[in-house]
Amino acid sequence: MPEKRPPFVVGNWKMHMTVSETRALLDSIVKAVPDLGTARIVVIPPFTALGEAARLLANSSVALGAQNLFWEDKGAFTGEISGPLLRDIGCRYVVVGHSERRQFFGETDITVNKRVHAALRSALKPIVCVGEILEERDAGRTMARVRTQFDGALEGISPEDIRKIVLAYEPVWAIGTGRTATPGQAEDVHAVLREKIAEKYGKEAAACAIILYGGSVKPANSFSLFREKNIDGFLVGGASLEAESFIPIMKEAMKAYKEVA
């Protein structure tokens, strides 16, 4: 297994992008794909744009994901969305445990874990987010926090299923704030997460695992972040809403990959 994995870049559009805006952005992303080599790209539109995005990406290597799912597969759960419904519309990935869901919608490690299992049941790859708040970082509790979140989110996950899971380290203080973790700060946490995978699932699973960084990623910082050994790509929020910033992020990551791989 080579030391460095090709860039894996995810654009999380959050509660933005109409269907016509989706068309325009995906058109630019799809046109940029040939310049991005072996980079893997996932876009995560709002639920309302998934159908149109699936249609536009049908013949493309860009994969589609959703921002959340409920842990039951079907039933009387007004307002929720299930794994089978996401799979049916063409999703291959789903974000689970984003800090905005933990902060504003009461997600806990227990409900994150239920969602991870639900995603896997529907053959969706979960992108599982962990990360500390500023007070935890200032108190020296970052590693303890992400270890706890890792253990909680991955409770009951088999060695076979760990290979289908993407982890995202997203320090809460860096999300949407313009304040990015330094490459060193991010790398330290990524290394701990990879160690956790090795402890629980073995060295080979750890070597294959995809661990993303998220938190104010921009074209100007993606090169230096991606150069770090354990940073495999990015979960990008704000800067994924425009082709002018999202595509250069991927190009910078690819440039760094070519240098260090």
Residues lying near ligand PEP in the complex (CB under 6 A): 12, 14, 98, 170, 175-176, 214-217, 235-239
Tokens 């299930």 appear where? Answer: 82
CB of 43 to ligand PEP, least distance (A): 13
Q: Does the CA dihedral 11-246-88-167 come out positive or negative?
A: negative
Nearer to ligand PEP, 26 or 95 (CB): 95
Which residue's CB is nearer to ligand PEP, number 206 or number 225? 225
Q: How far apart are CA 9 and CA 252, in angstroms?
A: 11
Residues 233/226, Cβ–Cβ less than 8 Å: yes
Choosing from 136, 170, 187, 228, the catalytic residue is: 170
Residue nearest to ligand PEP (CB): 237
In angstroms, give the least distance from the CB of 207 to ligand PEP: 25
Bridge partner list, 211: 167
Kindly tell me which of 83 and 238 has the beta carbon lying closer to ligand PEP.
238
- In angstroms, give the least distance from the CB of 12 to ligand PEP: 4
- Residue 160, class by beta-carbon neighbours within 10 Å (0-12 exposed, 13-18 middle, 19+ buried)? exposed
CA angle 163, 165, 169 (to 5 degrees): 125
16 is catalytic: no
**What is residue 58's DSSP assignment?**
T
CB of 34 to ligand PEP, least distance (A): 25
Query: Does 170 qualify as catalytic in the annotation?
Result: yes
- The nearer residue to ligand PEP, 16 or 114, going by C-beta atoms, is 16
Residues taking part in catalysis? 98, 170
